[in-house]
Structure 1
Amino acid sequence: MKKYSSSNLLQKELTQGSKNSFFGKLLYEFDKSSTKTMTLLVPMEVFVRAQVFCEDVEELSGMQFSQADLIDILYMDFLTHVKSKPDHQTIFNSIIQLERTSGKDLGIVRSKQGSIYEVIHEYRDKNMEELKVKFRRKLILRGEILLADLESVFPDHGFMLENVLELLYCDFINNWRKGNNTKAMKDILKVLEEEYE
């Protein structure tokens, strides 16, 4: 089975054999409620703009707001969209469209098997910044399952959850930079207000 994130939770979930013992169940329950750290690579230019955006959110809301918080909100919005419209073709097209507009090169090459296509991802901008984000295990697993489901329709699509998160982040900041995301600040402030009520 392929990996759909660096955490590889789907593989672990499917091969977990020790859940039958008391100790195995206890470890499984503990792991199930844990958080995992994911490392994203984003263009420095986007990272700096996102930092300014997050500082603006902090100033307007009076609350701490990090880039990890921004990514969390973007991912939760993406999952909500996926749950409400679970059409694999539409989801895959959305991810491909995000990739085309994010500053990544999309190269499709024939694999050695001949008829299978692989998607190779490479950033145009080599000046990258690492961004560490923590997610609850179940959210990572949900993303991995989505990507595995897409694999059944689009074999060898090549996406991992980190790629999707990077695309959501870059797309959001690029749209904000261009002025195409005028409601973004208001929507994020509303989400923060609802969380802290």
Structure 2
Amino acid sequence: MSIDFLYPDYEVVRNRDRCIACKVCARQCSNEVHSYDEGLGMMVADDSKCVNCHRCVSLCPTRALKIVKTDHTFKENSNWRGDTIAEIYRQAGTGGVLLSSMGNPREFPVYWDKLLINASQVTNPSIDPLREPMETRVFLGKKPDGIERSADGRIIPNLSPQIELAVPVMFSAMSYGSISYNAHASLARAAESLGICYNTG
């Protein structure tokens, strides 16, 4: 029998003295964490489905709920932390790499802020007279498997539509409402001036 049980990251704590079994938490939870147990005559929770969004906590009329981070731990050493072990288990069980929105909960360093760029080497043409001009254009689009030629030896131009970027940089897509109209207009003008692309998400 495979060992695939992972202790939930969060636990739903319900104050039985305050809970009136109104089922608001069950109706509002999109992950189906809460349910009413007819046999026990009370609300119960499946901690494994909780993502710590706190919607149930916010909407509970009697303030009977709270979400706490579990204190369950793995035996750790200098090479394997508990969260690393849990992630390996999850990836092995699902066959996929786990992604999360709204940033990363771990304290990974921001490497971009630590990069040192020598301006004399990244301008085109180069300020440094010892450097050769660089080609920074990038073409985005499907590429053919091989070159086709006509009977007279000329290359047959059968490329699918390509997007040309002056430099390999694109502004991230941000929907209307997340930033203002003026911010969108500024990004669009900057992209046009730089010869790159921009979209609204």
Q: TM-score, normalised by structure 2?
A: 0.21
Q: Which has the higher strand share?
A: 1
Bigger Rg over Cα:
2
Q: Which has the higher helix share?
A: 1
